[in-house]
Amino acid sequence: MSFTFYWYPKCGTCRKAKKWLDEHHIAVREIHIVDNPPAKEELTELYRKSGLPLKKFFNTSGMKYRQLGLKDKVNTASEEELLELLASDGMLVKRPILTDGNHVIVGFNEEQYEKFFGQK
């Protein structure tokens, strides 16, 4: 099984997740989310497979999110508009994102990773 890991190397949470993956000898295909942000179609697929509300895909603590005043917009915009926004700038996307093609984890939670990889 192959895994894709969308991350931003300067992000502390991403580095923690990468360290966890390395310590558990889990090979991933790394994608720099800022240099190569996922296209709208890819984000749509990740969103659908995650089972999460779309607003969970936004990096709400990021400067870009605040600069664009998205706090209220994420509650009123259409799914289409939100996906367009996410695809427009990798800094808007919550990270890291880990997927095996069927399941998607957004953010990093050690217990969630352990469960995902059957470590517990």
Q: For the chain, give every domain's residue range.
A: 4-116
CA distances from 114 to 4, 32, 86, 91 (A): 16, 23, 28, 27
- pLDDT tens digits, 92-108: 999 999 999 999 999 99
- pLDDT tens digits, 31-82: 999 999 999 999 999 999 999 999 999 999 999 999 999 998 999 999 999 9
Instruction: Report domain 4-116's class.
Output: alpha beta
